[in-house]
Amino acid sequence: MAKTISLFLIDDTADGRIKCTIKGRSEIIFRIPRKDLNESKARADLNQDGVYFLLGEEDGQQKIYVGQASSRKNGKGILGRLTEHDRKKEFWAEAIAFTTTDNSFGATEISWLENKFCNLAIAAGRCVVMNGNEPPPGNVSEEKLSELEERVEFARLILNAIGYKMFEPQKISAPKKILPPPVDDEEIFYLSREIRKLGKKISARMIRTSTGYKVLAGSDVSPLDDEEHLSARLKELRHSEKVVDGKLIEDLEFSSPSGAAVFVLGASANGWTSWATADGVQLKNLEG
């Protein structure tokens, strides 16, 4: 369902304090630069219960501290805790506060939320988590758990929308497959044999390397096995994930041309005569 996120620029500037809400929901997210803490003292919505995140960079690393704040006797709540951290913690440059319009977070809720966000930050691995110990989650009912999970998703949605990814797992791109350099046609050896039991021709390509003989991806691999002439290793390779629908899907190197030919054909073969250039010159005539 589409949502409209309201961003209120408290200081009429994008790098100042921001209040974030969604119509119809009671949750509020505040972004508060450390330099603007004193300007926030008059805000009643920051003197409530909630959780907060201190964010900053130190020694070339992004860091986060996850904390909770309950209303104090002096009515300071979240702002009171941030003011304490302003005197005691050096690394942070801004704070994110998560509270509600109706001050509906109680001790159980903020304990669970503090634990949840702390573990999300650890799992995401984007920041060094500065909490000395894992906050205890407290005990919540399954009904309350469902409600709190929804509140967490609200906070993550808002934070993502305004550019904060500290609770989102990093996407690891699959490594690009490095293709072998193109091979000149005269360096390729070909094998072609009619397999009567199959009623089809098996064709393969091979190159010589400094360490052996490499059958190239795309070569046919006969599905028939001659048990008498196949080693356990060759049989395993022929029926491995490297062969799909009768085709070799990645280059495979062998120590001898005969091993390469037997792999392709699934039967006894002399690699020195089975492999030949495009002009029909057998491998034996090129390797003395």
Question: What's the pLDDT at 225?
Answer: 84
Do 149 and 268 belong together in one domain? no
Task: Quickly tell me which residue has 């972004």 as its tokens.
Answer: 31
Do 53 and 134 belong together in one domain? yes
Instruction: Give Cα 256 distance to the centre of its chain.
Output: 41
Asked, for residue 178, whether it belongs to a domain, the answer is no
Do 124 and 208 belong together in one domain? no
Do 129 and 206 belong together in one domain? no
The answer to whether residues 61 and 2 touch, using CB atoms and an 8 Å cutoff, is no
Q: Which two tokens stand for residue 270?
A: 């002399």
Question: What's the pLDDT at 170?
Answer: 80
The answer to whether residues 5 and 22 touch, using CB atoms and an 8 Å cutoff, is yes
Using DSSP bridges, classify how beta strands 5-9 and 243-244 pair: parallel, antiparallel or unpaired.
unpaired
Do 30 and 92 belong together in one domain? yes
Question: What's the pLDDT at 2?
Answer: 73
Question: What's the pLDDT at 285?
Answer: 87
Asked, for residue 204, whether it belongs to a domain, the answer is yes
Q: Which two tokens stand for residue 88?
A: 């005691």
Asked, for residue 170, whether it belongs to a domain, the answer is no
Q: pLDDT truncated to tens, each residue of the chain (288 aa)?
A: 678 899 999 999 989 999 999 988 999 999 999 999 999 888 888 989 999 999 999 888 999 999 999 875 556 789 999 999 998 888 999 999 999 998 889 888 999 999 999 999 999 889 999 988 878 887 888 889 999 999 999 999 999 999 999 999 887 655 555 445 544 444 899 999 988 888 889 999 999 988 899 999 999 999 888 877 788 888 889 989 999 989 999 999 999 999 999 999 988 899 999 999 988 899 988 865
- Tally of CB atoms within 10 A around 199: 7
Burial degree of 10 (CB within 10 A; 0-12, 13-18, 19+): middle
Do 153 and 199 belong together in one domain? no
Domain count across the chain: 2
Please tell me whether the overall predicted TM-score, pTM, comes out greater than 0.85 for this model.
no
Asked, for residue 166, whether it belongs to a domain, the answer is no
Q: How many CA atoms lie less than 13 Å away from 99 in the CB half-sphere? A: 26
Asked, for residue 61, whether it belongs to a domain, the answer is yes
Do 41 and 155 belong together in one domain? yes
Asked, for residue 131, whether it belongs to a domain, the answer is yes
Question: What's the pLDDT at 74?
Answer: 54
Asked, for residue 169, whether it belongs to a domain, the answer is no
Do 37 and 84 belong together in one domain? yes
Q: Which of 108, 129, 161 marks a domain boundary?
A: 161
Do 137 and 199 belong together in one domain? no
Do 98 and 226 belong together in one domain? no
Do 118 and 192 belong together in one domain? no
What range defines the domain where residue 73 resides? 5-161
Asked, for residue 217, whether it belongs to a domain, the answer is yes
Do 19 and 100 belong together in one domain? yes
Question: What's the pLDDT at 114?
Answer: 94
